[in-house]
Structure formats: C-alpha cells, structure tokens
Chains A and B, each alone.
Chain A
C-alpha cells in the first residue's frame, strides 16, 4: 500500500528540469508533496485532490492522474535550494487524510 516513488535519486545541474513520480496500487483521494532538507523537518509543497487537477508553486508544479493512481512533481529550471528529499504522501479517502501513507522519498541534488 505504500506508494512507490521514482526515481530514487536524481542529480541535476542548476537550471535543469526533473520529474518525480508517485504511484499507488490503491485508488487515491489525495496526494501530498513535501520536501525535507537534511537534518530539517519536512516542508509542505502542495496537495492534489482527485479530479486530475494540476497545481503550481513558483517553478514547481504537480499533476494527479486519478485513473493511473499516480502523481508527478515537476521541477523546472532547478535552483540550488531545490536540493533535498521529496516525499509523497497518499490518502485513499478524505477520512484517511489524517494518516497519510508516505513513499520512501526521492533524493534530489542540484549542483552549480
């Protein structure tokens, strides 16, 4: 039931783009994206609810394909500050929003 994130790790040069995927074997109600820098707390990025909406925040956006039970996080023109581990958390219904199931994370390193 744990969502599968891919890739496990990615290394970019500043300005390059990346896509991080989060796939579930269960039908999803929502997908939550967080970024955690080494030694720090996870920080909220965005939430996507079923309906296939796409959201964006600065140069980070995400999509949610309800039929494929998959969400993708898009990082464009990456900056050094994007480095960290990206986690997706999933909920199968609104009531489960309180106990998200998290993927293992995708480690992203952006180099100058």
Chain B
C-alpha cells in the first residue's frame, strides 16, 4: 500500500506568488492534516479536513487555505507568498477524525525568494 504522497517535493517561488501543494492520503483514510515545519522547529498545525469539511484550523493568516476532494486527497494553497513561508509542508492522514496516529508524507519543501 502506498503511504501518504505529496507533490511537488521541492519548489521555488518568489515573493507575492501563490503555491498549491497536493496530498494523497493512505487508502481508506478520510482525514488529512497540514503542518508547516520551519527548519529546526517542530511541525505547526495549519488545517485538518475530514470528509471534505474543515475540522480544525491553526493560527495562520487567511493567505493559507485548503480543501479536500471527494477522493479524500487535499490541496493546500498559499497566496501572496512571503519569505517567512519558506518551510517544509507536511501532510498527514489518519483513519478517522478522532484517530490518534498520524501518518506523515515526506513533505513539500517550499523556498520563497
């Protein structure tokens, strides 16, 4: 079984641009969470989606948005990129909204110049 897959793995953008990151959860997992991990720090929670509905939102500006599709895959969108948005963006899936174990993807490393 494939794990959590994310794309792209690496990307470089300039300030002011927007970016779309994609995530496919483990087959059968209906919940997807997004995290931002700045170098040297722990993951910071951005969003959780379950059954296409937002179930949680972290302390991030409105420039960050996400959605979940009927096949449970998810997109994270970031508009008006800032230098500080440079980070590893991790997607994690879990079997249900309340399940404890997160399975992370390898992440998308975003560099904003």
Interface residues of A (CB under 8 A from B): 2, 30, 32, 34, 40-44, 47, 87, 89, 94, 97-105
Contacts and interface: CB of A to CB of B under 8 A. Distances in A.
Q: For this complex, into which size category does the number of interface residues on chain B fall?
A: 20 to 34
B41 A42 contact: no
Interface centre among B31, B100, B101 (most CB of A within 10 A): B100
A101 B42 CA distance: 9
Given A42-B90, A103-B42, A105-B42, A98 B98 contact: yes
B75 to A, nearest CB: 19
B1 to A, nearest CB: 16
Nearest to A44: B101
Interface string B22-65: 00000000010100000011111100100000011010000000
B45 A99 contact: yes
Contact of A32 (B31, B33, B45, B100): B100
B90 A87 contact: no
Contact of B97 (A30, A42, A98, A100): A98
Contacts of A98: 31, 33, 48, 55-56, 97-98
B72 interface: no
Contacts of A41: 4, 90, 104-107
Nearest to B46: A99
Contact of B101 (A47, A94, A104, A105): A47
Interface string B89-113: 0100000011011111111000000
Contacts of B44: 102
Given A41-B106, A42-B90, A99-B45, A104 B40 contact: yes
Interface in B78-92: 90
A102 B43 contact: yes
A87 B43 contact: yes
27 contacts: A2-B42, A30-B100, A32-B102, A34-B102, A41-B104, A41-B107, A44-B103, A47-B100, A47-B101, A87-B43, A94-B98, A97-B100, A98-B31, A98-B33, A98-B48, A98-B97, A98-B98, A99-B33, A99-B48, A99-B56, A99-B58, A101-B45, A102-B42, A102-B44, A104-B40, A104-B41, A105-B42
